[in-house]
Structure 1
Amino acid sequence: MNISIEMKENDQFTSVDISGEIDAYTAPKLRESLFHLSEKEGGTMVINLSGVSYMDSTGLGVFVGVYKNIRSNNGQLYLQGLSARLMRLFEITGLSNIMDISSKNEGEVR
């Protein structure tokens, strides 16, 4: 089970590209990588999931925690590049009604 996390950041914007599988084995690494970034006051995080081939409920839990932390610090979280399978997972859980999710890749730090 592998996961790759690539980050680019500037003062208030963080772009994260994730590829591989997000499950009980890789979720702790993902959480560790993202959580400290979610504590920036007023920051924006764009997470590209186009390279994610599988995600289970543990992965959803990571994104819920990051979302809550970003929102509590007056920031914004955008998830993009979701496959139909991942989008369905967010829809079934109702998270697609709460989080800003797009199937397109729209922004990154340059």
Structure 2
Amino acid sequence: MNLSIDVSEKNDVHEVKLSGEIDVYTAPKLKETILPLTKQKGATVKIDLEKVQYMDSTGLGVFISGLKAAKEYESKLILVNLKDRVFRLFDITGLKEVFTIEDTIRGGK
């Protein structure tokens, strides 16, 4: 499956809506999209993961890179609408304590 990435901007917030799977094949495309956004000083980047069906450790690596860039450029990276399956990756790796995560969807498939 592919990854669809839709970027929009509302009220100085970059919204990135993802749909599909984040894995070794789709992660480079995602990284190319979010890193430039997080490297804008003071920017807020909200990544909507509601329609992400699957994510592996490669996806986690992309988000870690984005978070590092956000801290370096004093911007914010916020993850929203994580389904249980994706949220568990952040939970078992301890990354839920590092990321700002809003609106976890319980029981999502």
Q: Scaled by the length of structure 2, what TM-score is found?
A: 0.90
Does 1:77 find its partner at 2:77?
yes
The sequence identity of aligned pairs, in percent, is 45
Structure 1 moving runs of 4+ over 4 Å: none
Q: 1:108 matched to which residue of 2? A: none
Q: 1:98 matched to which residue of 2? A: 98
Total equivalences in the alignment: 105
RMSD over aligned CA atoms reads 1.5
State the shift of 1:12 in Å.
3.6
Asked if structure 2 preserves the Cα contact closer than 8 Å seen for 1:45 and 1:78, the reply is: yes
Q: 1:59 matched to which residue of 2? A: 59
CA distance in 1, matches of 2:13, 2:53: 25
Q: Deviations over 1:51-89 (max 9, x none)?
A: 000000000000000011011111111101100111111
Distance 1:83 1:11, change over 3 A: closer
State the shift of 1:104 in Å.
5.1
Asked if structure 2 preserves the Cα contact closer than 8 Å seen for 1:12 and 1:42, the reply is: no
Mind listing any 5+ residue stretches in structure 1 that lack a counterpart? 106-110
Q: 1:86 matched to which residue of 2? A: 86
Q: Scaled by the length of structure 1, what TM-score is found?
A: 0.90
Mind listing any 5+ residue stretches in structure 2 that lack a counterpart? none
CA distance in 2, matches of 1:44, 1:11: 10
Asked if structure 2 preserves the Cα contact closer than 8 Å seen for 1:14 and 1:44, the reply is: yes
